[in-house]
Amino acid sequence: MKKAALPPRSEVPIHETWDLKTIFPDERAWQVAKEAVLEQIPELIAYKGKLSLSPHTLADFFDQIEKTMRLALKVAVYGNLSSSVDTSDQEALALSGQGQSMFIRLQAATSFLEPELMAIGFVQLRKWIKQEHRLSYLSHYIDELERQTNHVRSGEVEEVLALAGEPLGAFFRAYNALTNADLAFENAIDANGNVVEVGQSSIDSLVTNSDRTVRKTSYENYTQAYLNVKNTLAAVQAGGIYRDVYNARTRNYQTSLEASLGANNIPLAVFSALLSAFKENLPTWHRYWKIRKKALGYDQLHVYDIKAPLTTETPQISFEQAVEWICSGMAPLGKEYVAIMRKGALEDRWVDRAVNRGKRQGAFSSGAYDTNPFLMLSYADSVFSMSTLAHELGHSMHSYYTFQSQPFIYSRYSLFVAEVASNFNQAMVRNYMFDTQTDPYFQLALIEEAMSNFHRYFFIMPTLARWELEVHQRAEVGKPLTADIMSDVCAEYFSEGYGDDVVYDRDQIGITWAQFQHMYMNFYVYNYATGISAAHALVDGIQQGGQEEVDRYIEFLKAGSSIYPLNALKLAGVDMTSPDPVNRAFEDMARYIDRLEQLVESGAI
């Protein structure tokens, strides 16, 4: 019996890892930077009660706080990235913890800023902005602060809320440590009895394996590991939910959802319309399950078959080839965009793509105003991995353009627009591949990738958004939250989506809530569905339009938080207050299902 084991981080080739030396050359330099931030905190506190003295004093403070915040973000990002690729590395975990603690201290120390600005008065602030050129960039910031008047507390309360960030953040840290470092997965088995190691960095490749035994045993063992600690996970998750409720109430919001939407100036109707459209389109998913079952030739379609390859002729795509195809797919955005992206992926080592033991689950893009964008995934030489790479490069290019174009204060775009650029890249690259890779097996692989992407963003995430809404509403009225209650709610919603065409174990689908760290990001997951909807609308506009549409999209990437999210999307050409983008995205998905059905009915597969 052979065993396919994941390598330790120490054995990973350096070219498969990101280059964090571009942030700090070593840990000693990181320590020096961290201490420098801490030393600057008393200087910032000295401004407390003095911001109203003059526009010159206020400008001095903004200059100082920006300098300190920019350095603090570099410190925090370095620690977080170091720990993400090997969650068993105790030194890296310590760096991450110290960086977070430092940042919270800085936030608490400067929490007097917005209450004092409000005390100065918005009329006076706008006069000062005209008088002092160093404050001229603050117009939108002041408008946003005025909009948030009812949700900014006194200086003392703001300080307490900032200090509470560290203990309240412990729920996510506990979840991360449990699921990425301590959770023990039983090995999977292939059809020949060989052992295959299951880990967070390998599970995606295992559930897309052509060997049904590998898929079955990896899926079952993966979910069982979560079920084995479901009560601990539920206690941690409940803490995260009560944290959201606490934050909402202390900031004078009626609900956690209102707090999440209000921060980005998103109407509740956008969230409600998305869930309504999703529920109305569940029959489209039921149709897909039927066609997939027929394509596979199975009597029953199990949950672990949802990503089963429909042919053994699946294309193998090296990382380097994937980058080139992604660059070709994004060529309509211009030579500058492509050159920056190619250099970042192949020369500047933005990407950590290694598959190793201890690497945290999923994929992400990160970075700070004064660093490169960095993206992490576990690359597996597949169409799926190429799509994930395109997705994360979309995030990274969004960050790159924002950092290059906006002053620091507007350099963090909202979650509502974050998932647009990433899904835009995936859709652009997919369309390019459909046009250039005419081999039927490759076309089939592209359909599978497209449906896998829609499955995650238009099935998993909206379902989890429904779950998130219900469990938060339970917490807000004092109803209990236990592992069984959370799992029953989750299982009920997933069973609606699977209908009668997918065979599932209720406990296994019920524990899905525990498998996504997004559940610790107060109403984040719905952004995936709105993001993919806006992205597909933008792709249609660019591929049917011309340079004007491209220019508007690049301006969207550059906007950061200098305008409200809905306005940024309108700038690019999409109105997300209308249900049209969501419905059109479901129509796009249905066309992929049509393509698959045609291949099945014709006997091509």
Which helix (H) or strand (E) is 598 found in, with range? helix 580-602
Which helix (H) or strand (E) is 368 found in, with range? none
Is the distance from CB of 412 to CB of 141 less than 8 angstroms? no
Residue 409 has a CB neighbour count (10 Å cut-off) of 17
Backbone angles phi, psi at 195, to 5 degrees: -90, 135
Is the distance from CB of 364 to CB of 340 less than 8 angstroms? no
Which helix (H) or strand (E) is 457 found in, with range? none
Q: Which of 132, 158, 159, 392 is catalytic?
A: 392
The DSSP 8-state label assigned to residue 7 in this structure reads: P
Is the distance from CB of 373 to CB of 397 less than 8 angstroms? yes
Please tell me the distance from the alpha carbon of residue 20 to that of residue 15, in angstroms, as a whole number.
12
Please tell me the distance from the alpha carbon of residue 195 to that of residue 217, in angstroms, as a whole number.
10
Backbone angles phi, psi at 365, to 5 degrees: -120, 140
Q: What angle do CA 8, 13, 17 make, to 5 degrees?
A: 90
The DSSP 8-state label assigned to residue 252 in this structure reads: T
Is the distance from CB of 353 to CB of 16 less than 8 angstroms? yes
Please tell me the distance from the alpha carbon of residue 574 to that of residue 536, in angstroms, as a whole number.
10
Please tell me the distance from the alpha carbon of residue 132 to that of residue 337, in angstroms, as a whole number.
35
Please tell me the distance from the alpha carbon of residue 206 to that of residue 217, in angstroms, as a whole number.
9
Please tell me the distance from the alpha carbon of residue 489 to that of residue 463, in angstroms, as a whole number.
10
Interacting residues of 524 by C-beta distance below 8 A, sequence separation 6+: 260, 415, 518
Interacting residues of 19 by C-beta distance below 8 A, sequence separation 6+: 348, 349, 372
Q: Please confirm, yes or no, whether 555 is among the known catalytic residues.
A: no
Please tell me the distance from the alpha carbon of residue 266 to that of residue 26, in angstroms, as a whole number.
42
Burial annotation 513-532 (CB, 10 A radius, 16+ → b, else e): bbbbbbbbbbbbbbbbbbbb
Helices marked H in 370-505 — which ranges? 383-405, 415-436, 440-455, 461-476, 483-498
Is the distance from CB of 533 to CB of 581 less than 8 angstroms? yes
Enumerate the active-site residues.
392
